[in-house]
């Protein structure tokens, strides 16, 4: 097999190569801001990132405050429930004590206990004691007991 070598540079195709250069677009120089244009874009992105970070921190802080308020509300409601149950127990105890007091302070009950347990009876006649004399004063100025035989 015979190989044919193609030269890297051929002088025969200069016309075609010249046409190729004419078809290529020309490079044009546009004046711009250069590195300052990139700096403005990065400062804009940095500013946006700062604003986003501030909003994110505010959102997290508001969420934390809301959670704290909710926890405090739940604790307060639980405390209210326990207070209501204690108040209800106190009211029941108060009504029981009122019933016991009215039962124990009944005059018929007291008379019954006095007559049955202690043998007490109502008095049949009353004796009046009157003191028409002034009490005798002792040396210390106190009234002395006067024993009289009767």
Longest dimension (CA), the chain: 176
List the chain domain ranges: 59-120
| pLDDT at position 28 | 77
C-alpha distances in Å from residue 21, one per residue of 24, 28, 36, 40, 127: 5, 15, 34, 38, 154
Q: Work out the pLDDT band at 58, boundaries 50, 70, 90.
A: very high
pLDDT (tens digit, 9 = 90+) per residue, 100-130?
999 999 999 999 999 999 989 888 888 888 8
Phi, psi of 35 (to 5 degrees): -70, -25
- Give just the sign of the alpha carbon dihedral 16, 17, 18, 24: positive
pTM of this prediction exceeds 0.85:
no
133 Cβ contact partners less than 8 Å away, ≥ 6 residues apart: 146
- For the chain, the residue count is 150
pLDDT (tens digit, 9 = 90+) per residue, 60-95?
999 999 999 999 999 999 999 999 999 999 999 999
| pLDDT at position 78 | 96
């Amino acid at each position: 097999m015979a190989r044919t070598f193609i030269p890297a540079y051929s002088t025969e195709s200069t016309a075609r190569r010249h046409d190729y250069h004419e078809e290529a677009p020309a490079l044009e120089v546009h004046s711009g801001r250069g590195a300052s244009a990139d700096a403005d874009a990065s400062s804009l992105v940095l500013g946006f990132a700062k604003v986003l970070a501030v909003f994110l921190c505010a959102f997290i802080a508001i969420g934390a405050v809301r959670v704290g308020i909710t926890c405090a509300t739940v604790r307060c409601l639980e405390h209210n429930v326990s207070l209501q149950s204690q108040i209800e127990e106190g009211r029941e105890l108060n009504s029981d004590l009122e019933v016991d007091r009215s039962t124990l302070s009944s005059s018929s009950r007291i008379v019954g206990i006095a007559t049955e347990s202690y043998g007490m009876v109502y008095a049949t006649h009353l004796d009046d004691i009157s003191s028409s004399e002034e009490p005798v004063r002792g040396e210390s100025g106190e009234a002395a007991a006067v024993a009289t035989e009767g």
